[in-house]
Structure 1
Amino acid sequence: MSPQSVVLSLLIIFFSFGLCLGFYIEDKHNEKKYSSKRIVNVNDYGAIPNDGSDNTEAFEKAWDEACSRGARLVVPRGSVYHLKPIKFSGPCKPHTAFRVYGTIKAWHDISVYKDRGLWIMFDNLNHFVVNGGGVFNGDGRKWWKNSCKVNKTLGGSGYAKNIKFMNIAMRNVTNPIIINQSYCDRKEPCPEQSTAVKVSKVVYRNITGTSASKVAIKFECSKEVPCEGIYLEDVTLTSENRNDTIATCNNVEYSKRGELHPECSS
Structure 2
Amino acid sequence: MMGLMRFINVFPKVCSIFFLLFSVAANADAVNGVFNVKNFGAVADGKTDDAKAFVSAWENACKSNSAATVLVPEGTYVVSLATFTGPCNAPIVFELHGVINAQPGLNTVDKENWIVFKYMKNFTLTGDGVFHGQGSTAWPQNVCSKNSDCKLPISLRFSFLNDSTIQGIQSVDCKFFHINLLGCYNLKMRNLNISAPKDSPNTDGIHIGQSSGIEISSSVIGTGDDCVSIGQGSRNINITGVYCGPGHGISVGSLGKAKDEQVIGLTVRNCTFTETDNGVRIKTWPDSTDGLASNFTFDDIVMNNVGSPIVIDQQYCPYNKCNLQVASRIKINNVSFTNIRGTSSTKDAVSLVCSQNFPCENVQIGDINLVHNGPDGPAISTCSNVKPTLVGQQTPPIVV
Give structure 2 stretches of 5+ with no counterpart. Answer: 1-29, 147-207, 273-298, 303-308, 315-331, 341-362, 366-400
**2:119 aligned counterpart, secondary structure:** strand
SS at match of 1:107: coil
Query: Which residue in 1 is equivalent to 2:216?
Result: 170
The Cα shift of 1:87 comes to 1.0
Could you say which structure has the larger radius of gyration?
A: 2
Runs of 4+ in 1 over 4 A off after TM superposition: 199-204, 217-221, 226-230, 236-240, 259-265
- CA offset digits 1:193-214 (Å, max 9, x no partner): xxxxxx9975642323542338
Q: Secondary structure at the match of 1:116?
A: coil
Partner of 1:249: 310
Larger RCO, structure (CA 8 Å, separation 6 or more)? 1
Give the corresponding residue for 1:106: 102
Task: Write out per-residue CA displacement over residues 27-56 of structure 1, whole angstroms, 9 at most, x where no aligned residue.
Answer: xxxxxxxx9712211111111113311101
2:45 to 46, 50, 58: 50
8 Å CA contact 1:95–1:128 kept in 2: the answer is yes
1:73 is matched with which residue?
A: 70
SS at match of 2:138: helix
RMSD over aligned Cα, in angstroms? 4.5
Q: Using the alignment, how far apart are the partners of 2:111 and 2:131 within structure 1?
A: 17
Q: Does 1:84 align with 2:80?
A: yes
Deviates more, 1:89-98 or 1:229-238: 229-238
Find the aligned partners of 1:50 and 1:127 in 2 and give their Cα distance. Answer: 32
Q: 1:129 aligns with which of 124, 132, 152?
A: 124
d(CA) in 2 for partners of 1:62 and 1:109?
27
SS in 1 for 2:63: helix
Question: Normalised by the size of structure 2, how large is the TM-score?
Answer: 0.38
- Specify the alignment match of 1:59 in structure 2: 54
Structure 2 CA distance for partners of 1:249 and 1:202, relative to 1, 3 Å: farther
Q: How far apart are 1:72 and its partner, in Å?
A: 1.0
Match of 2:84, SS state, is strand
* Partner secondary structure for residue 71 of structure 2: strand
Q: How many percent identity over aligned positions?
A: 23
In structure 1, C-alpha distance between the alignment counterparts of 2:34 and 2:216, rounded to whole Å: 25
2:241 alignment partner in structure 1: 211
Partners of 2:215 and 2:237 within 8 A in 1: yes
> In the TM superposition, what is the alpha-carbon distance from 1:121 to its structure 2 partner?
1.2
Task: Tell me what 1:25 maps to.
Answer: none
Q: Matches of 1:143 and 1:94 in 2, distance apart? A: 38
Q: Is the 8 A contact 1:67 1:90 kept in 2?
A: yes
- Alignment check: 8 A CA contact 1:91 1:124 kept: yes
The alpha-carbon distance between structure 1 residues 261 and 236, as it changes in their structure 2 partners (threshold 3 A), is farther
Structure 1: runs of 5 or more not aligned: 1-34, 152-162, 181-198
Secondary structure of the residue aligned to 1:133 is coil
Other-structure match for 1:233? 265
